[in-house]
Chains A and B, each alone.
Chain A
């Protein structure tokens, strides 16, 4: 059920442009940026729904079967993480593929950074899955872990980004911030790292700051999320006891 909805969302802009309901952007870069505009947030949602219960399901009644089998918990965790990664990566690559293919159909070209976009996207999916698996290891209830994952990546992280933009602090510790690299790579020229724009309304002037992560910085944040999340998830999962199950 999750995957068809994800695909439908991925197809919204190409269909609207293809059917001339929306006016096509002037160039392939703007088109691709528009087609992939919601890619990161919906991929994170997809990952949360897919992997949000990957570990927490073992702290319920099914865990009395799974955890009593002669299989290492690290193997169980890695197998589930890998399965969620493959599924999410295929879905994300399909979204990007549709964006690139329809762009080629409309403009006869693809964005120059398409290979880098694909590579960073795979890295992003890996880090998102690991992060969600970490959350899953923290909660006993699968449904609570899924809801918390969705809240964190869809509500909490964007709010933090908004607040930090206002006070001028780079949100270098947020995965969603790192994920912006993917959309920025569709632009003809990569945005500058920091822009500060004063906005005046009468006698009040507000300065709005905006950060764009460097490509290497985004990749580094993703790698850090991947490594740290998996390590902590493994530490928690391998030590957790089933004192009682709901």
Chain B
């Protein structure tokens, strides 16, 4: 199970949607692909599913290049990219059976029933054309599950699902990632934190950071301090430190608490503490900002 992006470049008209993206996802687990709208997430997913062809570089699935041997490369991949729809002329059951059959699998009634219950699907004999947008998406997800492939490429899979459905789907991902490689794009950070093992941040077509959720959280958390003062937050003093370039920014979170961002070095940290200590510090901690803050920092 392997997905390799090798210096992927994709130009869409005059826009460079991807600019030299390289990564190697190997083995079981869930790999998050994070970035704002227009960062190039969907473009990457489309390159791995033969919906787009790279301008330069290659996207490979288990060593097989997708653009030159798509039928071979896609044998291992099921995907949900953008807003797909099941075939409107098929019933829910027919679409699931067809999706499995195209992968040389047969689904029995028990499997259809099991997946239907987990995803709260409509009746199996319901025509897909009559379903709402959200239901169509669930049927599509169900079809991916019955395909039984080793690799899942999921582009914002919970978009359009209600909160309860999203929870169910995240639980399914948690289970599936024990056996499969899941490449999941999202801009819902808490979702990625919950289900992904590793995360890649993408912005303006370039990878800007890669690591495990824990590593990234730790790395970016260490660049901020949450300081509790004995009295009111000395906004003037903090403003002076900012003007001097000692701190990058600060936020006042309450009458006595301030969140201070700095460059992360021990030297600066000491300088901040030394400057503010005479003003009365009750408590000082590395701020637990989490991945969301890391994301915000990276996207600046």
Let me know if A197 is at the binding interface, CB within 8 A: no
- Using known A-B contacts A70-B72, A72-B71, determine if residue A62 contacts B88 with beta carbons closer than 8 Å: yes
Q: Is the interface of A mostly helix, strand, loop or mixed?
A: loop
- Identify which of B48-56, B180-188, B250-258, B284-292 touches chain A: B48-56
Q: Is B196 close to A, CB under 8 A?
A: no
Measured CB to CB, the closest approach of chain A to B128, in angstroms, equals 10
One of B74, B80, B140 near A70 (C-beta < 8 A): B74
Interface segment among A149-157, A213-221, A238-246: the answer is A238-246
Q: What distance in Å separates the Cβ of B33 from its nearest Cβ neighbour in chain A? A: 17
A70 to B69, CA, bound (A): 10
CB pair B49–A68 under 8 Å, yes or no, is: yes
Contact between chains at B12 and A243 (CB < 8 Å): yes
**Chain B contact residues (Cβ within 8 angstroms of A): what range?**
20 to 34
- Within 8 Å by CB of A245, from B49, B53, B74, B83, lies B83
Inter-chain contacts of A174 with B (CB < 8 A) = none
What is the chain A residue whose CB lies nearest that of B89? A62
Chain A residues whose C-beta falls within 8 Å of the C-beta of B85 in the assembled complex: 60-62, 64-65
Checking A71, A73, A239, A245 against B82 with a beta-carbon cut-off of 8 angstroms, the contacting residue is: A245
Q: Which residues of A contact B105 (CB under 8 A)?
A: none
Q: Which residue of A lies closest to B76 (CB)?
A: A70
In this complex, the member of A68, A71, A239, A243 whose beta carbon has the largest number of chain B beta carbons within 10 angstroms is A68
A69 at the interface (CB under 8 A from B): yes
Q: Say whether A65 contacts B74, CB under 8 Å.
A: no
* Interfacial chain B residues near A60, Cβ < 8 Å: 85
With A71-B102, A243-B12, A243-B52 known to touch, is A64 a contact of B75 (CB < 8 Å)? no
What is the bound-complex CA distance between A73 and B71, given in angstroms? 9
Q: How far is the CA of A228 from the CA of B120 in the complex (A)?
A: 49
Contact sample, A vs B, 14 pairs, CB 8 Å cutoff = A61-B85, A64-B51, A65-B87, A65-B99, A67-B49, A69-B103, A70-B71, A70-B72, A70-B102, A71-B71, A241-B46, A241-B53, A242-B46, A242-B52
Binding site for B on A (CB under 8 A): 60-65, 67-73, 239, 241-245
> Which B residues are within 8 Å of any A CB, using their own CB?
12, 46, 49-53, 70-75, 77-88, 99, 102-103, 140, 143
